[in-house]
Structure 1
Amino acid sequence: MTDHDDVPGGQDLPAGARGPARAADETVAADEAVAPVAAVAAVDLGATSGRVMLALLHGDPGRERVELEEVARFANGPVEVPEGDGAALHWDLLHLWRGVLDGLRAAGVAAAARGLDLGAIGIDSWAVDYGLTGADGALLGNPRCYRDPRLEGVAEKVLDTLGAEAHYRVNGLQTQPFNTEFQLVAGAQDAVWPLATSVRLIPDLLASWLTGRVVAEVTNASTTGLVDATTRQWSPTVIDGLVRAYPALGDLRGRLADLVEPGDVVGHLTGRVRSLTGLGAVPVVAVGTHDTASAVVGVPAADDRFAYVSSGTWSLVGVELDAPVLTQASREANVTNELGVDGTVRYLKNVMGLWVLSETLRTWRESGRDVSLAEALAAAETAEPGRTVVDVDGPQFLAPGDMSARLAEAARASGQPVPDGVGQVVRCVLDSLAAAYARAVDQVTELSGRGSDAVTAIHVVGGGSQNALLCRLTAEATGLPVVAGPTEGAALGNAVVAARGVGLLTGTLTDLRGVVRRSSTLVTYEP
């Protein structure tokens, strides 16, 4: 589902790692001082931060590479707001909008300093969450966060009503309590719902403010549960079924914009946005607007015999296919079919990811136990391996809170030693994540029907690719080499699709990955 936020390891390479290195035929040209030939801006929004990256294109056709420069970064995170007797979680979308505008202004200045104009803008973000707008286009309140407590139990009720098996045969989507369709059912009784004329996923909403045109990009739309995974169109079967079961949804299809594919130009910056940013009529391209879709484009593989881990706040573990897998076995394994760039399918499982580690460090810090990430990983390196391995995908790890206490409870429930101290707790998290990755790779490979030799390497992209210990443990757990990098996989994937959308790059998805490979320093961890 989401997302790739930086959760770096910041360590020297341990034994068993090979790198940093590039293949000989991918070596960057010796003259690093050659001026870039074009520039695009990649807006990359995660659950804990947003950033705007200036992507500078270097090299002749067929030998292009991308140099990324972060020109803006701003905080993000859900905001708790009182609601009735409890609380609701919302995103501060206006803060993100300001960050995007400031970042685009900075990207334009940085490009101009090199004698370039921005050639395109791409936006990606986490999935499933949306904003509602009224007939005049005004935002009807800040979007809810996918961790909002009111979603508890909604998915089960909806699927019991619609029939889980038939539902999966259409949308191919794993059951997650926060899928957009369940959020819509939970929100259909809100006072603002009858006023809403448009439902826009986060990157589509921002793109509409930039360009004045409303579209729904298909890779992100596929996480809503409302898209037919085979036709890549909105599903009348699902949408009509939801409306029959929940009449308060009303004209749901009428609130959804037409779908577009990655690479389509949404529109050009409006006059107002140009005055706010100092930019010209820059085209906004619908990239893989789900950050995982962009991150998978950013996998620097030379062939299709790979699995990937898009590693950050969440970890998305899967393989790339040409068609969805809609079998009963796939549904029972809770594997999802999310749509990718160039007609592909991201067949994957959500793993809870480094959220568990970041929440552990946060709650320690708030209790007065200030442990840095580097200190935590160093302690985990020397802790007893495999002492306690729990199911980090359990629902108790979804909400914010004291993860070390929840790990202890899970350990007791499974009859394992309770982690005690920084090293044991963090090692439990990382050993458990590596085991979850191995299970997920085995499952998706088997269920895809591609055969036992379909995966010869695992590519880890995103912030978690810098966590050397986790990468090494993943290699050991899977028995496969782990290729770590690029850290900014989503931004690179975003940038190359945006550049191709306006003709600055050409070629297939494999060609785009060649650009990513030439642009990256990779580290390989052997099992």
Structure 2
Amino acid sequence: MTNTYVAVDIGASSGRLMLGQLRNGKLHLQEMHRFKNGFVKEAGHDRWQIDKLIHEIFIGLEKIKQAGFSQITLGIDTWAVDYVLVGNNGQKLQNPISYRDDRTQNSIAKLTSDLPKDYIYKKTGIQFLDFNTLYQLFEEDKELLAQTSKIMMIPDYIGYVLTGQAVTEVTNASTTQMLSLREGLFDHDLLKKVNVRSEQFPKLVDAGTVLGPLKANWYQQYDLPQTTVITVATHDTASAVIGTPGIGQHWAYLSSGTWSLLGCELNVPENGEQAYQENYTNEWGAYGTYRFLKNIMGLWIIQNVQKELPQAYSFAELAALAEKQLPFQQFIDVNNPRFKNPRGGMIKELQNYCSQTNQKVPQTPGEIAMAVYSNLSLYYAHELAILGDIVGHRWDSLNIVGGGANVKLMNQLTASLAQVEVYAGPSEATAIGNLVVQMITQKDLANVQAARQLISKSFVIKRFLPQTDVETHQLSNYQKFLQEVQV
């Protein structure tokens, strides 16, 4: 009998249930349900509608049952850093606040006034982003924290609601910037600084831990398949890295979605001075690895551009319009905090940036899209060089997964700028990584190496070669520009 696996994969703008089965030596995927996600303003903050997300999961599970699948295993991955506060009665105290809320705007400076940044980095190896859980808890309502029995990351909370079992999965927990690299536990000094206790976090578990069956009451409310929940690599980037084919001896990855995460897989963390100065992070990966990477603003920028344009364009249409424009007509620091959640709109913010830096201001949809794609490619090439400097070798390849793997223009620009072979695909790496961890747990796959061989066999991986080195001078000019604007 063929085992049936389901990935619940929820991002900042949408979620879906993907069904996976091994058939004839290949992994076959089927999207069973898709739904929208997004934060709304509620009680003074941008918040996630967590109950709606859980309801959508049950709708998806009913569809799976109706499609004839009576027994499945289920894994859950979502974005990182956000959390749910659960009271003594086992119920959430409020809807979770989004990391894009502005409550943590100045929190790094406030918290590090007496706990120096280098001290925190040595402890945790995690990059400084103002939305890390550490700074969110620093700004959290102290009365609510006093009423809190459990602090749970988003996918752990969803698993808790489904099964009644509470855990803290380490790939996501590491993004809190509160786990000690040395001890593998929550750091006492950092917890004390934000007025929380270690016992408020459920026990730490590794990816591949069986959480258990759905609670009986859910079968009374919904027509569901018999479901066993497995705690996978619950941070979506951790799942995406597991779902990367890993082509080449020295390969880097770019998980290209709402965020772009560029990095490599390490067996030992790298939290030295250069990594600290460049703000690289050592997030924990599945199976004893570390995701050494840099957060880049990513497709969030073009997603917002698409929403704001007066005429409806698909992403493919925007990319086609961009291809008709010349690249590199302006340099943009895509990681500037002003693009995190611009109140006046992303297009206006991009145009203001170009105007304020005395550059050509993009006007048409094609010009705006090319400005975004060409500058993302520049930033990827820039960071790939820095990553190589830190770990001490050049790259055989860059493996691009996620939605950005479908943007041929950006893949080719990145290959030429970085002078590296680019392998693009699969676009569904996050869901695939979720599924293969379940398969390893259930002994359908031996290990990660076997999983990556399966991925390479099962999905189309496109190859982009550096065309010429004529664009490398653009990278040099861009790097000078970044130095100047930071000064």
TM-score, normalising length: structure 2: 0.92
The correspondence of residues 211-226 of structure 1 with structure 2, limited to 5 A, is 211-226=163-178
Q: Could you tell me how far apart the structure 2 residues matched to 1:502 and 1:509 are?
A: 13
| Contact persistence 1:304–1:320 (CA under 8 A) | no
State the partner residue of 2:408. 468
Shift of 1:304: 4.7
Q: Could you tell me how far apart the structure 2 residues matched to 1:406 and 1:421 are?
A: 15
State the partner residue of 1:436. 379
Segments of 5+ residues of structure 1 without an aligned counterpart are: 1-35, 244-248
The correspondence of residues 392-411 of structure 1 with structure 2, limited to 5 A, is 392-400=334-342, 401-411=344-354
Further displaced range: 295-304 or 470-479:
295-304
Segments of 5+ residues of structure 2 without an aligned counterpart are: 467-487
The one of 345, 349, 356 aligned to 1:413? 356
Cα distance change of structure 1 residues 349 and 323 upon mapping to structure 2, 3 Å threshold: same
The one of 180, 183, 193 aligned to 2:133? 180
Query: 1:24-49, CA deviations, whole angstroms, 9 ceiling, x for partnerless residues?
Result: xxxxxxxxxxxx82211100000000
The count of residues paired between Structure 1 and Structure 2 equals: 465
Shift of 1:228: 1.6
Query: 1:524 and 2:463 equivalent?
Result: yes
Aligned-partner SS, 1:161: coil
| Contact persistence 2:163–2:215 (CA under 8 A) | yes
Shift of 1:111: 4.8
| Contact persistence 2:248–2:397 (CA under 8 A) | no
State the partner residue of 2:41. 80
**One-letter amino acid of the structure 2 residue matched with residue 253 of structure 1:** S
Cα distance change of structure 1 residues 58 and 374 upon mapping to structure 2, 3 Å threshold: closer
| Contact persistence 1:101–1:276 (CA under 8 A) | no
Aligned-partner SS, 2:309: helix
| Contact persistence 1:302–1:510 (CA under 8 A) | no
| Contact persistence 2:47–2:97 (CA under 8 A) | yes
Query: 1:285-320, CA deviations, whole angstroms, 9 ceiling, x for partnerless residues?
Result: 111100000000110124552111111111101111
| Contact persistence 2:169–2:233 (CA under 8 A) | yes
The correspondence of residues 119-198 of structure 1 with structure 2, limited to 5 A, is 120-189=73-142, 191-198=143-150
State the partner residue of 2:15. 50
| Contact persistence 2:64–2:225 (CA under 8 A) | no
The one of 338, 342, 352 aligned to 2:287? 342
Shift of 1:334: 0.7
State the partner residue of 2:481. none
Aligned-partner SS, 2:18: strand
Cα distance change of structure 1 residues 464 and 228 upon mapping to structure 2, 3 Å threshold: same
Q: Which has the higher contact order (CA 8 A, sep 6+)?
A: 1
The one of 265, 272, 277 aligned to 2:217? 272
Query: 1:378 and 2:290 equivalent?
Result: no
Query: 1:447 and 2:399 equivalent?
Result: no
Q: Could you tell me how far apart the structure 1 residues matched to 2:353 and 2:416 are?
A: 23
Shift of 1:281: 5.0
Aligned-partner SS, 1:267: strand
Shift of 1:429: 0.5
Cα distance change of structure 1 residues 93 and 304 upon mapping to structure 2, 3 Å threshold: farther
Aligned-partner SS, 1:74: strand
State the partner residue of 1:117. 71
State the partner residue of 1:388. 330
Query: 1:239 and 2:195 equivalent?
Result: no
State the partner residue of 2:307. 362
| Contact persistence 2:252–2:263 (CA under 8 A) | yes
Query: 1:90 and 2:32 equivalent?
Result: no
Aligned-partner SS, 1:47: coil
Q: Could you tell me how far apart the structure 2 residues matched to 1:109 and 1:293 are?
A: 31
The one of 56, 78, 82 aligned to 1:99? 56
Query: 1:314-348, CA deviations, whole angstroms, 9 ceiling, x for partnerless residues?
Result: 11011111111111211110111111011000000
**One-letter amino acid of the structure 1 residue matched with residue 328 of structure 2:** G
TM-score, normalising length: structure 1: 0.85
Shift of 1:125: 0.3
| Contact persistence 2:247–2:397 (CA under 8 A) | no
Shift of 1:412: 2.9
Shift of 1:196: 1.2
Q: Could you tell me how far apart the structure 1 residues matched to 2:445 and 2:182 are?
A: 26
| Contact persistence 1:52–1:107 (CA under 8 A) | no
**One-letter amino acid of the structure 1 residue matched with residue 439 of structure 2:** A
Query: 1:34-89, CA deviations, whole angstroms, 9 ceiling, x for partnerless residues?
Result: xx822111000000001001111223xxxx32111111111000112252xxxx10
State the identity as a percent.
34
Cα distance change of structure 1 residues 372 and 496 upon mapping to structure 2, 3 Å threshold: closer
The one of 427, 441, 446 aligned to 1:507? 446
Q: Could you tell me how far apart the structure 2 residues matched to 1:305 and 1:236 are?
A: 37
**One-letter amino acid of the structure 1 residue matched with residue 166 of structure 2:** V
Shift of 1:494: 0.2
Cα distance change of structure 1 residues 280 and 360 upon mapping to structure 2, 3 Å threshold: closer
The correspondence of residues 292-307 of structure 1 with structure 2, limited to 5 A, is 292-307=237-252
Further displaced range: 326-335 or 276-285:
276-285
Aligned-partner SS, 2:67: helix
State the partner residue of 2:368. 425
Q: Could you tell me how far apart the structure 1 residues matched to 2:52 and 2:197 are?
A: 28
Shift of 1:378: 1.8
The correspondence of residues 247-326 of structure 1 with structure 2, limited to 5 A, is 249=195, 251-279=196-224, 281-326=226-271
**One-letter amino acid of the structure 2 residue matched with residue 486 of structure 1:** P
Query: 1:346-375, CA deviations, whole angstroms, 9 ceiling, x for partnerless residues?
Result: 00001100111111121223xxx4444333
Aligned-partner SS, 2:450: helix
State the partner residue of 1:18. none
Query: 1:39 and 2:4 equivalent?
Result: yes
The one of 176, 179, 184 aligned to 1:227? 179
**One-letter amino acid of the structure 2 residue matched with residue 307 of structure 1:** A
